[in-house]
Structure 1
């Protein structure tokens, strides 16, 4: 699975680097390094929401924040990996 987190201007201001740090920590803690690849990308054209995250180039764009990243990771991403 490839996870892309937007680091464009709007997402950067909304905390994209905090989201990336949290996702990286979860991937390491859960031992998912072989299952989940984390990449930074630029604008996903979802600038009015939180930090934009896309899974495997799907059309759906998820909005993450520093506060909800752990819950959303477990709810959306971990479900798909296991």
Structure 2
């Protein structure tokens, strides 16, 4: 699985760095490093809501406050 997080200026201001750090922690805690690849990308064109995060080709809007729920509900169920 590939998870791509926007690191463009708008998403950076909305907390993309925090989201990346938290996803890295969650992936490591569950020993999923061999199953999940994290990538960064510049603007994905969906800046209005939150930080753009893509699982394979599906876009999500994530905030530092919702990253745990996103991981549980979207990432883990796709493994």
TM-score (norm 1): 0.93
Quick one: distance in 1 between partners of 2:41 and 2:18? 15
SS class of match (2:3): strand
Q: Which residue of 1 aligns with 2:26?
A: 26
Report the alpha carbon displacement of residue 61 of structure 1 after superposing the two structures with TM: 1.2
Residue 79 of structure 1 aligns to a residue whose secondary structure is: helix
1:19-57 alpha-carbon deviations (Å, 9 max, x no partner): 00000000000110011000111111001011000111x
TM-score, normalised by the number of residues in structure 2:
0.97
**Using the alignment, how far apart are the partners of 1:44 and 1:74 within structure 2?**
23
Is 1:73 matched with 2:71? Answer: yes
Cα RMSD for the two superposed structures: 0.6
Match of 2:60 in 1: 62
Would you identify which runs of 4 or more consecutive aligned residues in structure 1 move more than 2 Å? Answer: none
Equivalent pairs counted in the alignment come to 79
Residue ranges of structure 1 left out of the alignment (5+ in a row): none
